[in-house]
Amino acid sequence: MLVLVVNAGSSSLKSQLIETHGKEARMKCLAEKVGTPEATMTVAFAPDFHKATYDVAGLSVARCLEKLLDIMVSDPASPISRLDQIEAIGNRIVAGGEFFTRTTLIDDAARRNLTRCEELAPLHNPPADECIDMLRTLLPNTPQVAVFDTAFHQTMPAKAYMYPLPMRYYDEYSIRRYGAHGTSHRYAAQQAAALLERPLSDLGLITCHLGNGGSITAVNHGKSIDTTMGFTPLEGLMMGTRSGSIDPAIITYIMRREGKTFDEMDKILNNESGVLGISGIGSDMRDVLTAAENGDDRAELAIDMYVYRIQKAIGSYYAAMTRTDAVVMTAGIGENSAHLRERIFAGLAHMGMILDKERNDVTGQIGVNRIISIDDSPIKICVVTTNEEMRIACETNDLVSQIG
């Protein structure tokens, strides 16, 4: 099935045209700084993925997508010449609230509920909804599917998803923990089950999505029972530019001391904290690791804190589950950094998670799903390669095929 994957962000658009049968991307598009005068969009077609760059200054995310569709039907390198050759559309949606517990076909009722979720992710959901509406107009007969970052975590029990705040904040504003990266955690758990050659329904897994953003999930018998991200993706681990969990009193303290506005405080916590805030170098883990190797103390502290917080999260989910069979590492850092994996698991051997240094080595192993613990490690350690666009395309394919 030829699936157009649409991943609309607050100021970006990622899109791919994917042939799900052979699991092959046929087109890749990235628009950045959308809404600003510097906005550009690159589009590349298989097989050589030579990038052409387009000026999309001032266009909204939905208008960028419209422009992409124009390019897709007019560029000779494109695999399609008519929009109706797209067989299905898979939309990534950041927040599905309590309305969506699974990947969903977007009919009129689902579309109405999507609007109700907008206030839960005011920067991300509205542009995604605009793209959906535009596509419903241009391609009225093509099924559209919504794949939610939050849906996988809708199985969390109330003791995990509730905050100890006055109840009316849950009743009136739906303030609770929703989690994120659900598509990635679900996929990592499925791939780990395949590696362990056991049914997912028998396993207790701790899945670690460690990229620019990061979250860890306790997956019991295939279901998310707890995850580190919360009401928004700011809670939990220390991330590239996000603080993760801190004492909430710090926020009001800084606001009072420095007269910060709400927006300024949001920016500090989301864009200026985490690995960037501590290291002062950047949010890219490779740069910070290089600086630490060269003796930079702040870079070393950032890595120490990053590792420690991951170790504590893994330990707390070990406690939350009745059994743990494996810890699964995925995303940019989880997949590629043998050094950070070694540091993380060096502190967890006493819990029965024992890394094999040779298997952990990445040489020739990038992109290979594998077990990297020693043979008799009581709890296995796995590495799994994630590909969000491919997952969205496959989930879209599965749902559309199911409902015919």
Q: Which residues are catalytic?
A: 149
Binding flag, residue 274, ligand AMP (CB under 6 A):
no
Single residue of 200, 332, 348, 379 touching ligand AMP by CB under 6 A: 332
Binding flag, residue 230, ligand AMP (CB under 6 A):
no
N residues, the chain: 404
Binding flag, residue 90, ligand AMP (CB under 6 A):
no
Give the integer Cα–Cα distance in Å for 202 and 14: 36
How would you classify the pairing of strands 380-383 and 326-330? parallel
* Least CB distance to ligand AMP at residue 209 (A): 8
Give the integer Cα–Cα distance in Å for 331 and 328: 10
Sole window of 74-82, 90-98, 137-145, 282-290 interacting with ligand AMP (rule: CB under 6 A):
282-290
**Nearer CB in complex with ligand AMP: 153/209:** 209
Binding flag, residue 240, ligand AMP (CB under 6 A):
yes
Sole window of 5-13, 39-47, 333-341, 396-404 interacting with ligand AMP (rule: CB under 6 A):
333-341
258, 228 contact by CB (below 8 A): no
Binding flag, residue 16, ligand AMP (CB under 6 A):
no
* Least CB distance to ligand AMP at residue 215 (A): 11
Binding flag, residue 273, ligand AMP (CB under 6 A):
no
Q: Please tell me the chain's helix, strand, coil percentages from 3-state DSSP, rounded to the nearest 5.
A: 45, 20, 35
Single residue of 143, 182, 211, 244 touching ligand AMP by CB under 6 A: 211
Q: Which residues pair with 87 in a beta bridge?
A: none
User: Before 122, cis peptide (omega within 30)?
Assistant: no
3-state DSSP of 153-172: HHHCCHHHHCCCCCCHHHHH
* Least CB distance to ligand AMP at residue 290 (A): 10
Binding flag, residue 381, ligand AMP (CB under 6 A):
no
* Least CB distance to ligand AMP at residue 185 (A): 13
Binding flag, residue 239, ligand AMP (CB under 6 A):
no
Q: Which residues of 27-66 are buried (b: 16+ CB within 10 A; e: fewer)?
A: bbbbbbebbeeebbbebbbeeeeeeeebebeebbbbbbbb
Write the CA distances from 402 to 19, 231, 253, 381, integer angstroms: 17, 32, 53, 34
* Least CB distance to ligand AMP at residue 279 (A): 11
Binding flag, residue 342, ligand AMP (CB under 6 A):
no
Binding flag, residue 237, ligand AMP (CB under 6 A):
no
* Least CB distance to ligand AMP at residue 337 (A): 4
Q: Kindly state the tokens that stand for 223.
A: 């279901």
Sign for the CA dihedral angle at 120, 231, 153, 328 comes to positive
Give the integer Cα–Cα distance in Å for 1 and 78: 16
152, 186 contact by CB (below 8 A): yes
Single residue of 51, 286, 312, 357 touching ligand AMP by CB under 6 A: 286
* Residue in the shown chain whose Cβ atom is closest to ligand AMP: 332
**Nearer CB in complex with ligand AMP: 135/238:** 238
Binding flag, residue 207, ligand AMP (CB under 6 A):
no
Binding flag, residue 132, ligand AMP (CB under 6 A):
no
DSSP 323: -
Binding flag, residue 398, ligand AMP (CB under 6 A):
no
Single residue of 205, 219, 327, 333 touching ligand AMP by CB under 6 A: 333
In 3D, which of 69, 344, 365 has the Cα closest to residue 206? 344
- Binding residues (CB under 6 A) for ligand AMP: these are 211-212, 240, 284-286, 289, 331-333, 336-337
